[in-house]
Amino acid sequence: MGAHAWTSEAPYIPSPPEPTRANGPGTLIPQRERITCLVHLSKAFAHIEGIVTAFAVIQGYAVLNVIPLGWPGRSVTVGCRYCRDGAWWLYDIRTGQSIRPANEARLAAHRITTQIEEAAAA
């Protein structure tokens, strides 16, 4: 689970506040920065052959599924969380481990691809 789950391994870290809109419905959970970071990560995978990405929502939070074609069960679900140091970080939803700062999307994509390849070789 990620930082937004209430477990002993993942303390709750709230997202930064977002300005409220005067008109129309607002989301209960701020998503703008999180989605922007995940879109940049998705674009980093666009040039990698054999990997597709898909957005999803888990417990109200946007996530990005990184799915290798031809390797069932090797997908990685990536979330984005706001850390106490004031930066957004990409992390593996299943393990809770940080991957890279969100502004390093290409390096994060490389690390995730390497993780997938290592898991397939094992």
Q: pLDDT tens, position by position, for the chain (122 residues)?
A: 444 444 445 555 555 554 444 554 544 556 788 899 999 999 999 989 999 999 999 988 899 999 999 877 789 999 999 887 788 999 999 999 999 999 999 999 999 999 888 887 77
pTM of the model: 0.73
Q: Is residue 20 part of a domain?
A: no
Residue 91 lies in a domain: yes
52 located within any domain: yes
Does residue 28 fall inside a structural domain?
A: no
Domain hosting residue 87, numbered range: 34-121
| DSSP per residue, the chain | --TTS-SSSS---PPPP-PPPSSS---SS--HHHHHHHHHHHHHTTTSTTEEEEEEEETTEEEEEEEETT-TT--EEEEEEE-TTS-EEEEETTT--EEEETT-HHHHHHHHHHHHHHHHH-
Number of domains in the chain: 1
